Every structure is written in structure tokens, then in C-alpha cells.
């Protein structure tokens, strides 16, 4: 015989009392308003069957159906156990049928007196009787649920209650490689911004994992330096919010080689998650050479057993088609494709996500999105800085693998895709992969490569080192820091339309934009008033992604006055004027929130990756085979002269090139 008395306040579940510290089972309380009043004083009999999945509770009153319903909410785990099970005591959880969620938030306490009697017998006919006393009307009980060693589950900092199945699931977000620059400067600030804005679940824990030996407090101190209250300009609540956020941050150290670290992390996560439904996100911010090994161990030893698991991967996604396929095959041994989120921060920028809205929600643009009206499309990703200490990595990969394979091809696919069946992520990605598979093979004649050289700074006070003088770079390196290229999409919508791309480092300005140039007006009555260069009368739609987000439409307009003089003017939507600049989230914030919500349309699917590498790998092999020497250009200039000739060859006017 064993008895237990505790108080439960509905809507608030305190940690299990000391009396239940050695409990091996849970007492699950099921609330069912359909039970008759006398249910509170009736003995109920529980019968164990051979299979936990088919275990049945035999009540003298109704309630069995509620028990079965709750089995599904516990991810298929039966509420009843099989075989002999001496009852030593119970921890207490409250399980509420979904239909009653809105009716039980009342401010009262229940005094529960449970008396259990162990009945021993043999085989499958084992029976136990539970006498319930002082239960309120509509309350029944069921023995079972998987064993839980309650003493291993301390209440996480910042939380006042226990994780139970009837409330929202617990979410843990683990950053693997947590002490690296990307994690400290981008990922944790993005997580804090989501927390500050109320976008994270209330029941969340943030974990850092790396090889450095740190305590929780030391790790919190490390990341606190980069946590900024972007939304709160007055910083009135910044300090308090920062402190609350850090209370939910934990740290675990371990090696990336072998699976011991992931097993240790799994144990730590279970301690914080408690006993209810728990979902997990793992963000791998790691060197590319250890990603597959860590992901393999993680999928084997650290996936959630009581919820979903999602994995975020940073580029590079391989070096070519073969290496990319090898990584994908390794990931899919332990994970499903819908669990893998290949992140490209460029795709999280406000104007990139706005592409589909601009096109599909505006009648003025959608009919024009075709070769009939569009003359060419230019996608430009220009950086005014050098490679910023990434010499060793960049010299192995180059600008094509670093920018074109992900940023630019993903942008073209999103821009050029056919209307999807719906806004569901899979429907959008289905259309994107069709674009990539329709792209014509690129040859050496379709590209221009460049490399920035040593130059004098704009103020003439110092010398800017050339690419081959950067730390970690081979002095004889032929790795390009600039590429211009022309792609064609061989389908009915885009046949014959050149997509000119430019990507490079050490250019005159930092700029990311998509420029759509339209055909001339047939038989333009005013063509004689534009001078010798008819291209000045060309309509353009410019989507400025960075640094000043905006949408600009170039039109021809009459200059006010008595004469008829024409001028090209811009209708502009400049985001900093229309919207508060602080309201624009960082791309990492948007993409991490998409992972939490399960929205994958801005992430790269495996077949998209295959199609992108199938397009670029032959080109990269030709560059290496022929040892193509990049054209040198001045750091801080507009790039190689060859880019102008390439554009002219494909009849693409560079009206505002880098």
C-alpha cells in the first residue's frame, strides 16, 4: 500500500513533491465532463494485455475512450503498461482532453488522495485495483505512461511549471558550434530578437554545444555581449528581457568526433524538457568537414522521442555534384528530407521574400513576367569588402561556389518559377527545381572571371592588399573573386531572355539587387526625343535588396513646361521612408522562425541542390582543366572590363553596373 497527497492548481503544475521522488510510474488524471457524478467514488479495474499499443482500461463508468485519445497525444505511447508492476507511489500529471482546454482554466485547488493496492498474479491475467477517493465529479484515472525518474528533471531556470502533455510542446534550440563567430554574431542575436519580440514559444530552452569547456554562466556571459534590443529603441525593458532570455540558455561541451557528445547532449536536453511533448531544433554552425559526422551522430542519438526534430545546415553544401550527393546520402540515412533545412541567409532578406508577393498579388506585374515584355534580368551581389579573413576557405571554393551556387541560383529560381499550386513550401520548391532543371548548360564563353589586385586606398593613405596577399591564400592562386555570367532558361516563359549575373568582392559599393529591363515600346511615337541612345527610354523595375531596401520603377515622363521634353523618372518605394527601419528583421530571425513553424519554402531541398550542382559542376571542371586566369581589377573599382563586353555580347545594357 502506498498513498500520496498533493495539491494541483489547474493551469499550473508544480514540480513533483518529495514524496514522489522515487516514483517509477505516473498517475495520469483524465478530465471528462461526461462521467457521471458517482464516478468519483467508484473503484475502477485496469487490465494489462500483451501489447502496450492494445492495452485497454476497463472502467465501471465511461472514460476508456478518453484514455485511448490521450495515447495519440503521447506520440503513440500507451497509457497502460504490461506485466507485473508493483506500485510504490506516483508522480502526478494532469492530462486534459482537447475538447476541454478552454473549460478548465479555473482558479481552485484539488486535494487528491490516491490509494493503490498491488495485486500479484501470473501471466496475462494480471489485475490491479485502484480505489479513488475524494475525486471531483468528472475525474477518472489511468495507470501507466512510460517510467519517469522524476528526480532527474529539475525545473529549468525561468519556468515555474512542469512540462506536461496537455500544454504547448517544449522546444529546445541547440546551436552546435556555439562559440564560433557566426553563432555569436548572428544566430544568438537572432534568437534573442525572436524572444524579445514574443515570437518564440513560452516553453523554450536555448542550448549551446561546442568543444570549449564552459559553465552555463560563462557561456551566458560570452553571448550576452552580442545581444542587442533592436526593436526597443528606448531600451526600457532591454536589461530585464536580456536577463530572462539568458535564464533559458544552457551550455554543454563535447567533441565533434564520435557520438559521445551527442549522447551526452541528449541526456541534458531530456533533463530540461521534462516529461511532456518536446520538439528539437539543431543548428549546425560548424566547419564543413565535420558536419556530416556530427549530423550522423545527432540523428542516431539526439533526436526527440516525444516530438519532431529539425536540422539546420549552413553552406557549403558540398564542393561539386559528387561531394554534395555524398553528403545528402549521409544525411538521409538517419533523417527525412523534410527534417533538413539547408539555410542560405540571402533568402531570408525582406525583398527576396517579397518577390512572390510583388509578382503574384499585383495584376500590373504578373502578366508582364514573361519573355514577351522582359528584355533581360540582372542579378547583382556586390561586396565592397575583401574576403575578410576567410582566405583558406575561400581559396578552396571561390566566388562561384560561395555565391552563385546558392544565393544567385536560388534567387533566379524564385524569380522565374511558374505560379505554384499553393503557398505550401513543397509546392513552391517543386516549381523552383523545374527552373533549375530548365537552365541551359553554361560554357566558358558565357562567363568572365576576375580577381582583385593590390590597390591604393581611396584617400591615398595606405595600400589595400590584393587577393593573393590575403592570409591563407596561395600566392599563385587562380581562384576568382568576381564572376559575371549569362544564364538562359529554356522554357516557354523565358526562352531567349538573358539572365546576367554579377558577383564579386572588393567592388566600388555594397549592393544586392534584381534589375528587370523591359523591351522598348513598339513604334514609340517619342523615340526621336530621347537622343541617340534609345536605351535611356527603357522601362526598368529595380528590386533593391541591400543596403537600402526598396522597389523602384523607372518610367518616361514629360518635364513640366511649355515644350515637350522627356525625362526618365523613378517611382520609388523606399522602405526606410515607408516603414520603420527597426521593424525589418534580420534574415536569420526570419529563417529560424520559419524552421520553428515548419515553413521550408526559402530553404534548399535536396533535388534543388542536385540541379544547381549539375549546372555548375561541368563549368567548374572546365575552369580547373583549362586553368583559366582571372582578369585583374582594382580593389574598389567596378570589376573586370570583360564584364562589359559579355553584357554587350548578349545585348544587355549595363545602366548602373557595379
Catalogue the active-site residues.
407
Task: Determine whether 289 is exposed, middle or buried from the number of CB atoms within 10 Å of its CB (0-12, 13-18, 19+).
Answer: exposed
Q: What's the rounded Cα separation, in Å, for the pair 520 and 73?
A: 62
Q: What's the rounded Cα separation, in Å, for the pair 163 and 155?
A: 9
The sign of the CA dihedral 153, 158, 161, 166 is negative
Calculate Rg over the CA atoms of the chain.
31
User: How many other CB atoms are there within 10 angstroms of residue 573's CB atom?
Assistant: 13
Q: CA angle at residue 338 from 269 to 336, to 5 degrees?
A: 75
User: How many other CB atoms are there within 10 angstroms of residue 209's CB atom?
Assistant: 30
Tell me how long the chain is: 658
Q: What's the rounded Cα separation, in Å, for the pair 210 and 272?
A: 18
Q: What's the rounded Cα separation, in Å, for the pair 78 and 129?
A: 19
Helices first, then strands: H and E counts in the chain: 16, 25
- Residue showing cell 494480471: 126
Q: What's the rounded Cα separation, in Å, for the pair 53 and 80?
A: 8
Torsion of CA 352, 353, 357, 359, to 10 degrees: 30
Q: What's the rounded Cα separation, in Å, for the pair 81 and 126?
A: 11
For residues 635 and 464, is the Cβ–Cβ distance under 8 A? yes
**Cβ neighbours of residue 150 closer than 8 Å, sequence gap 6 or more:** 15, 16, 20, 21, 23, 91
DSSP secondary structure letter of residue 489? B
For residues 205 and 191, is the Cβ–Cβ distance under 8 A? no
User: How many other CB atoms are there within 10 angstroms of residue 105's CB atom?
Assistant: 8
Q: What's the rounded Cα separation, in Å, for the pair 643 and 609?
A: 27
For residues 402 and 395, is the Cβ–Cβ distance under 8 A? no
546 strand-pairing partners: 512
For residues 468 and 630, is the Cβ–Cβ distance under 8 A? no
Question: For the chain, first and last CA: distance in Å?
Answer: 82
Amino acid at each position: 500500500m502506498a498513498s500520496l497527497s498533493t495539491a494541483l492548481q489547474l493551469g499550473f503544475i508544480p514540480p513533483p513533491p518529495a514524496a514522489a521522488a522515487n516514483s517509477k510510474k505516473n498517475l495520469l488524471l483524465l478530465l471528462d465532463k461526461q462521467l457521471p457524478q458517482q464516478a468519483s467514488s467508484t473503484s475502477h479495474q485496469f487490465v494489462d494485455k500483451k501489447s502496450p499499443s492494445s492495452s485497454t482500461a476497463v472502467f465501471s463508468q465511461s472514460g476508456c475512450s478518453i484514455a485511448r485519445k490521450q495515447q495519440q497525444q503521447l506520440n503513440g505511447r500507451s497509457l497502460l503498461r504490461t506485466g507485473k508492476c508493483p506500485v510504490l507511489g506516483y508522480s502526478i500529471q494532469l492530462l486534459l482532453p482537447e475538447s476541454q482546454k478552454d473549460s478548465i482554466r479555473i482558479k481552485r485547488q484539488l486535494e487528491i488522495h490516491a490509494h493503490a493496492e498491488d495485486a500479484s498474479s501470473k501471466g496475462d491475467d494480471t489485475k490491479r485495483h485502484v480505489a479513488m477517493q475524494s475525486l471531483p465529479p468528472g475525474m477518472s484515472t489511468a495507470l501507466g505512461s512510460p517510467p519517469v525518474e522524476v528526480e532527474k528533471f529539475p525545473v529549468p531556470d525561468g519556468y515555474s511549471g512542469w512540462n506536461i502533455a496537455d500544454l504547448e510542446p517544449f522546444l529546445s534550440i541547440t546551436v552546435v558550434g556555439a562559440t564560433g563567430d557566426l553563432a555569436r554574431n548572428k544566430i544568438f542575436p537572432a534568437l534573442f530578437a525572436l524572444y524579445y519580440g514574443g515570437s518564440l514559444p513560452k516553453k523554450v530552452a536555448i542550448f549551446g554545444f561546442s568543444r570549449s569547456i564552459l559553465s552555463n554562466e560563462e557561456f551566458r556571459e560570452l553571448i550576452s555581449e552580442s545581444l542587442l534590443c533592436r526593436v526597443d529603441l528606448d531600451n526600457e525593458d532591454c536589461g530585464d528581457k536580456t536577463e530572462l532570455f539568458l535564464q533559458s540558455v544552457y551550455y554543454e561541451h563535447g567533441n565533434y568526433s564520435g557520438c559521445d557528445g551527442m549522447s551526452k547532449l541528449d541526456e541534458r536536453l531530456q533533463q530540461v524538457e521534462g516529461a511532456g511533448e518536446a520538439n528539437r531544433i539543431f543548428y549546425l554552425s560548424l566547419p564543413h568537414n565535420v558536419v556530416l559526422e556530427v549530423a550522423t551522430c545527432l540523428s542516431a542519438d539526439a533526436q526527440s522521442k516525444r516530438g519532431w526534430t529539425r536540422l539546420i545546415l549552413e553552406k557549403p553544401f558540398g564542393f561539386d555534384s559528387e561531394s554534395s550527393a555524398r553528403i545528402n546520402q549521409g544525411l538521409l540515412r538517419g533523417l527525412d528530407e523534410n527534417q533538413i533545412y539547408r539555410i542560405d541567409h540571402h533568402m531570408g532578406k525582406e525583398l527576396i521574400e517579397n518577390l512572390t508577393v510583388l509578382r503574384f498579388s499585383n495584376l500590373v506585374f504578373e502578366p508582364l513576367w514573361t519573355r514577351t515584355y522582359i528584355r533581360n534580368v540582372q542579378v547583382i551581389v556586390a561586396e565592397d569588402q575583401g574576403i575578410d579573413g576567410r582566405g583558406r576557405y575561400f581559396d578552396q571554393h571561390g566566388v562561384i561556389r560561395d555565391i552563385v551556387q546558392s544565393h544567385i541560383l536560388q534567387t533566379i529560381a524564385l524569380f522565374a518559377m511558374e505560379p505554384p499550386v499553393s503557398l505550401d513550401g513543397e509546392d513552391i520548391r517543386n516549381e523552383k527545381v523545374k527552373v533549375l532543371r530548365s537552365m541551359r548548360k553554361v560554357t566558358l564563353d558565357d562567363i568572365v572571371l576576375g580577381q582583385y589586385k593590390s590597390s591604393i586606398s581611396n584617400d591615398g593613405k595606405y595600400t589595400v592588399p590584393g587577393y593573393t596577399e590575403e592570409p591563407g591564400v596561395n600566392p599563385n592562386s587562380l581562384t576568382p573573386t568576381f564572376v559575371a555570367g549569362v544564364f538562359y532558361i529554356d522554357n516557354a516563359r523565358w526562352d531567349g531572355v538573358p539572365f546576367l549575373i554579377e558577383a564579386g568582392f572588393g567592388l566600388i559599393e555594397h549592393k544586392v539587387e534584381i534589375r528587370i529591363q523591359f523591351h522598348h515600346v513598339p513604334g514609340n511615337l517619342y523615340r526621336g526625343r530621347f537622343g541617340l541612345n534609345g536605351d535611356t527610354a527603357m522601362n526598368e523595375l529595380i528590386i533593391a535588396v541591400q543596403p537600402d531596401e526598396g522597389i523602384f520603377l523607372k518610367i518616361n515622363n514629360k518635364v513640366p513646361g511649355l515644350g515637350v521634353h522627356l525625362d526618365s523618372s523613378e517611382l520609388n518605394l523606399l522602405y526606410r521612408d515607408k516603414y520603420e527601419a527597426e521593424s525589418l528583421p534580420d534574415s536569420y530571425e526570419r529563417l529560424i522562425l520559419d524552421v520553428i513553424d515548419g515553413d521550408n519554402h526559402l530553404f534548399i531541398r535536396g533535388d534543388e541542390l542536385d540541379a544547381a550542382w549539375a549546372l555548375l559542376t561541368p563549368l567548374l571542371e572546365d575552369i580547373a582543366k583549362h586553368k583559366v586566369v582571372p582578369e585583374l581589377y582594382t580593389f574598389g573599382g567596378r570589376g573586370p572590363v570583360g564584364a562589359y563586353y559579355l553584357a554587350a555580347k548578349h545585348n544587355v545594357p549595363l545602366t548602373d553596373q557595379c
